């Protein structure tokens, strides 16, 4: 009985892993870029009231747009002295363009550092 249970467990384990991609995602270059200390990350968000309000306004414009993917709604938005940095992966070039248009439509945005990547298929 123990042997049958063990065989079933092994068969189930193999069936679950069969559909998975054999290659692990390689984002080494992106990780190295982030480790350099020169990349803006959410911890760099300015604590000034104007920059916090700017980040909130950009985030709200993304979340309220039902045409954007959940990845697009969850990009990193960091504001420093009116400069907005966008980081993350979006579904398409059209989605990327739509996000940029929303950012530039905000009169409090002085500059935008677009670091968005389009998901490769």
Does residue 7 lie within any of the structural domains? no
Q: What is the pLDDT of residues 31-60, one digit of tens each?
A: 565 666 667 788 878 889 999 999 999 999
CATH of the domain at 111: 3.30.1340.30
CA 70, 77, 30 angle in degrees (round to 5)? Answer: 80
Q: What is the pLDDT of residues 77-110, one digit of tens each?
A: 999 999 999 999 999 999 999 999 999 999 999 9
Asked whether the beta carbons of 99 and 74 are under 8 A apart, the reply is no
CA distance 56 to 53: 5
- The pTM is what? 0.69
The total number of structural domains that make up the chain: 1
Does residue 48 lie within any of the structural domains? yes
Does residue 24 lie within any of the structural domains? no
User: Is a pLDDT exceeding 90 seen at residue 12?
Assistant: no
Structure tokens at 69: 């993917």
Where is pLDDT greater, at 61 or 6? 61
pLDDT given for residue 43 in this prediction: 81
Give counts: helices (H), strands (E), the chain.
Answer: 5, 3
Does residue 9 lie within any of the structural domains? no
Can you give the residue range of the structural domain that contains 64? 44-121
């Amino acid at each position: 009985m123990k042997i049958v249970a063990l065989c079933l467990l092994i068969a189930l384990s193999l069936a679950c892993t069969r559909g998975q991609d054999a290659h692990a995602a390689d984002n080494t270059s992106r990780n190295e870029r982030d480790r350099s200390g020169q990349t803006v990350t959410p911890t760099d968000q300015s604590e000034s009231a104007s920059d916090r309000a700017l980040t909130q306004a950009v985030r709200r414009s993304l979340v309220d747009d039902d045409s954007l993917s959940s990845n697009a709604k969850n990009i990193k938005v960091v504001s420093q002295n009116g400069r907005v940095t966008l980081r993350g992966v979006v579904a398409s070039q059209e989605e990327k363009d739509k996000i940029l248009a929303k950012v530039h439509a905000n009169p409090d945005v002085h500059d935008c550092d677009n670091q968005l990547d389009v998901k490769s298929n």
